[in-house]
Structure 1
Amino acid sequence: MALVYLRELNEQTKFAIWKIEESAEELVAKLQLDEEEQEKLHQLSKGKRTLHWLATRVLLRYLLQTNEYIHCPSDTNGKPYLPDYPYKISLTHSFDYAGVMLSTKGECGIDLEIIMEKVVRIKEKFLKPEELSFIQPEHEVLQLYACWCAKEAVYKLQGNKGVSFLVDMTIKPFNFKPQGVMLLDLAKDGITSTYEVYYEQFQNYMLGFAVE
């Protein structure tokens, strides 16, 4: 496993991305798993899903700088949390990479996606007409992925529940750059909240992240 990106946004928030180079057996050897986690691992289909799950746990150990057992369950909506640490947490993975974000500032969300042309075919499923109107043709695929990652990051931040990318989230116009920030309005339970979501191109991936 190779650390390819470590970033401390401030004293309260940091994230890291690792390239997965080990086998499942090699990753398991770096962890202590309780019975529930072993059962979870057994239920996962073999291949990338298993590697992703294991890699995020190994990376979490790296960020927390401990060799001890880390209890990282998920709530009823699938949102992971750390009952024994003061951090809020978000996990992501895509193909050969896994990522973990930690924050003591508030809830956080991170998303990593490999960039593929097929996003153009589904853009109307997650962006409103007014959002599509500011997509720059010369950066269409990259900007669409920046928007997707932003909505996914906020979806994770707010708890993995009851939110539609298309209906409840609205991105304000922005000009795409390889690294930047956008504003995203989330309408939930009659309240609209605005989030700053950072995005950046990482090799042939797009990364998005936000903190309360």
Structure 2
Amino acid sequence: MPLFKTIKPNKYTTVYVWKIEESFKDLSKNMLLTERSESRLLSMKSEIHRRGFLSVRHLLKEAGYTDLDLFYNGNGKPHLTNGKHISITHSFIFSAIIISDVEVGIDIEKNREKIKIIQDKFVNFERGFIHKDDDYIQQLTVIWGAKESLYKIYPHGGLTFKNDIDINSFQIADKKTSGYIKVEGWDKNYRIEFHQIDGFTLVYALDIANND
């Protein structure tokens, strides 16, 4: 299907969401890829991952770019050749990108019971505000997605979700919160926004100092 959803968090940031309903063959039609991307695509054993990869390239087209405009640094962080910031995510039947003039990160996750099993690996400070009368799985998924988004912003790698990233108090109805990376030499707060989409949680982080 065409573009599923577009979100404008502010005047210089856009989120593009794709619902992956096409076959791999249909997604491949008229899709120009770099040699690096062709190699990555061929190395993927999962059909879901291959379709997710190509759907991201369709989102780039929606935003006015091609695969030729995308490159990655040594830590695997994506960049655009025109200097704008980009972050990429896909999960099962959804993919999304966020493009901005400032630092951004994005994540989309399916709301699943299994997140309860792994919560001790990424929940620390947040344990103090999780609300028992709110949707527990969605809360945990927002926390995970927010930390994943901040992890993607940090350029040096090596962060741990549990000890190096904190997310501030929220309820699902708020659709927003804030978070920060607490490592030496990096003192920044970020605005976190989240949306529920067909059983998935979409989360993105934006530089809080530039959020008009």
- Please give the TM-score of this superposition, normalised by the length of structure 1: 0.90
Q: For 1:183 and 1:195, how far apart are their aligned partners in 2?
A: 6
Match of 2:4 in 1: 4
1:150 CA drift (Å): 0.7
Residues 60, 67 of structure 2: 8 Å contact kept: no
1:168 CA drift (Å): 0.4
Match of 1:198 in 2: 193
Q: For 1:43 and 1:89, how far apart are their aligned partners in 2?
A: 24
Residues 89, 103 of structure 1: 8 Å contact kept: yes
Residues 171, 184 of structure 1: 8 Å contact kept: yes
Q: CA offsets, 1:139-173, max 9 Å, x none?
A: 21111111111111111112371211001011222
Match of 1:50 in 2: 50
1:30 and 2:30 aligned? yes
Query: Counterparts in 2 of 1:16-27, with a 5 A limit?
Result: 16-27=16-27
Flag the 1:200–1:166 CA change in 2: closer, same or farther, 3 A.
Answer: same
1:49 CA drift (Å): 1.0
- Please give the TM-score of this superposition, normalised by the length of structure 2: 0.90
Match of 2:167 in 1: 171
Q: For 1:34 and 1:199, how far apart are their aligned partners in 2?
A: 32
- Which structure 1 residue ranges, 4+ long, deviate > 3 Å from structure 2? none
Determine helix, strand or coil for the equivalent of 2:5: strand
Q: CA RMSD in A?
A: 1.7
Residue 70 of structure 2 is aligned with which of 69, 72, 83?
72
Determine helix, strand or coil for the equivalent of 1:73: strand
Residue 86 of structure 2 is aligned with which of 84, 89, 112?
89
Flag the 1:119–1:69 CA change in 2: closer, same or farther, 3 A.
Answer: closer
Residue 162 of structure 1 is aligned with which of 134, 148, 158?
158
1:7 CA drift (Å): 1.1
Determine helix, strand or coil for the equivalent of 2:189: strand
Query: Counterparts in 2 of 1:98-177, with a 5 A limit?
Result: 98-104=95-101, 106-128=102-124, 130-138=125-133, 139-159=135-155, 161-174=157-170, 176-177=171-172
1:10 CA drift (Å): 2.3
Residues 78, 160 of structure 1: 8 Å contact kept: no
Q: Which runs of 5+ in 1 are unaligned?
A: none
* Identity between Structure 1 and Structure 2 (%): 30
Q: Which runs of 5+ in 2 are unaligned?
A: 208-212
Flag the 1:30–1:58 CA change in 2: closer, same or farther, 3 A.
Answer: farther
- Matched letter for residue 141 of structure 2: Y
Q: For 2:117 and 2:156, how far apart are their aligned partners in 1?
A: 24
Residues 109, 153 of structure 1: 8 Å contact kept: yes
Residues 57, 67 of structure 2: 8 Å contact kept: no
- Matched letter for residue 31 of structure 1: M
